[in-house]
Amino acid sequence: MNPWNERFQGIDYVFGTDPNVFIADMHKKLGLTGDALAIAEGEGRNAVFLAREGMNVTVWDYAESGLNKANQLAEACNVQIRTELVDLHEAQWKQDQWDEIICVFGHFPKALRTRTLEGVKRAVKPGGYFLTEVYSPYQIPYRSGGPQDQQFLYVPEDFLVSFADWRIVHFFMGEVVRHEGQGHQGLSHVIQFAGQKPRTTE
Statement: residue 49 has pLDDT above 70: yes
Statement: residue 61 has pLDDT above 90: yes
Statement: residue 182 has pLDDT above 90: no
* Whether 153 contacts 147, CB under 8 Å: yes
pLDDT digits (tens, 9 = 90+) for 138-149: 999 998 988 999
Residues 6+ apart with CB under 8 A from 158: 113, 117, 191
Our measurement of the distance from residue 139's CA atom to the centroid of its chain's CA atoms, rounded to an integer in Å, reads 18
Share of the chain above pLDDT 90, in %: 85
**Is 48 domain-assigned?**
yes
**Is 158 domain-assigned?**
yes
Angle between helices 45-52 and 21-30 (to 10 degrees): 20
* For residues 162-177, average pLDDT: 98
**Is 75 domain-assigned?**
yes
Task: Give how far Cα 97 sits from Cα of 100, 121, 169, Å.
Answer: 9, 11, 20
What CATH number does residue 19 fall under?
3.40.50.150
**Is 17 domain-assigned?**
yes
**Is 201 domain-assigned?**
no
* For residues 58-63, average pLDDT: 96
pTM over 0.85: yes
Share of the chain above pLDDT 70, in %: 99
pLDDT for the residue 201:
57
pLDDT digits (tens, 9 = 90+) for 86-110: 999 999 999 999 999 999 999 999 9
141 φ/ψ angles, rounded to the nearest 5 degrees = -70, -15
Task: Give how far Cα 193 sits from Cα of 47, 169, 181, Å.
Answer: 18, 8, 23
144 φ/ψ angles, rounded to the nearest 5 degrees = -105, 10
**Is 101 domain-assigned?**
yes
pLDDT for the residue 60:
98
pLDDT digits (tens, 9 = 90+) for 3-48: 777 778 888 898 889 999 999 999 999 999 999 999 999 999 999 9
Statement: residue 160 has pLDDT above 90: yes
Q: Report the domain count for the chain.
A: 1
**Is 202 domain-assigned?**
no
**Is 58 domain-assigned?**
yes
Domain assignment of residue 50, given as a range: 3-196
